[in-house]
């Protein structure tokens, strides 16, 4: 289609029955009159309701107007709640922020470290990461003078002699 034909459309494409809009009002009113819905609003009020409404409201207000109860913000109950919350917050910060324990590798128990190494599936690379570079100096492995008593007690406590006996 060309642009000229778009601006020259004379028919809308919508059709209505003949005299539909002229007779629409009459048809709607006849249907409403048949159902008697035009005269009824659906709401009703008692007789003289609006004439006596103002007086009845003033009577109810004057009867129920008693001095209201005053509640103080600073009561003992509220003071206990606020002080307990403040104490809990102070305790929380004092336990976590001011805990100055120096926890490092030197303060660990030997059994704790042994259990960690035995129970965790550590590879040799993981174990190397646990040590510092200073721990692998040659001086740490050479020139140790062991006493015979220490070697003997170690062998008695840690080595099973049945492993060395051959059948």
pLDDT tens-digit map of 125-165: 887 787 777 777 777 777 777 788 888 888 888 887 777 77
pLDDT value for 145: 75
Higher per-residue pLDDT: 35 or 73: 73
Rounded percentage of the chain residues whose pLDDT exceeds 70: 82
Please say if the pLDDT value at position 93 is more than 80. Answer: yes
Start-to-end CA span in the chain (Å): 108
pLDDT value for 4: 64
Q: Answer yes or no: pTM beyond 0.75.
A: no
Cβ neighbors of 29 (< 8 A, separation 6 or more) are: 38
């Amino acid at each position: 289609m060309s642009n000229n034909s778009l601006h020259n459309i004379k028919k809308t494409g919508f059709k209505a029955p003949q005299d539909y809009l002229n007779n629409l009002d009459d048809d709607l009113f006849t249907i409403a009159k048949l159902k008697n819905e035009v005269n009824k609003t659906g709401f009703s009020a008692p007789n003289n309701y609006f004439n006596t409404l103002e007086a009845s409201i003033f009577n109810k207000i004057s009867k129920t107007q008693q001095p209201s109860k005053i509640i103080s913000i600073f009561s003992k109950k509220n003071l206990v709640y606020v002080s307990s919350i403040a104490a809990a917050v102070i305790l929380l910060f004092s336990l976590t922020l001011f805990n100055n324990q120096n926890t490092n590798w030197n303060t660990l128990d030997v059994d704790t470290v042994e259990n960690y190494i035995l129970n965790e599936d550590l590879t040799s690379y993981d174990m190397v990461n646990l040590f510092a570079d200073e721990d692998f100096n040659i001086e740490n492995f050479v020139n140790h003078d062991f006493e015979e008593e220490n070697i003997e007690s170690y062998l008695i406590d840690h080595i099973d002699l049945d492993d060395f006996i051959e059948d």
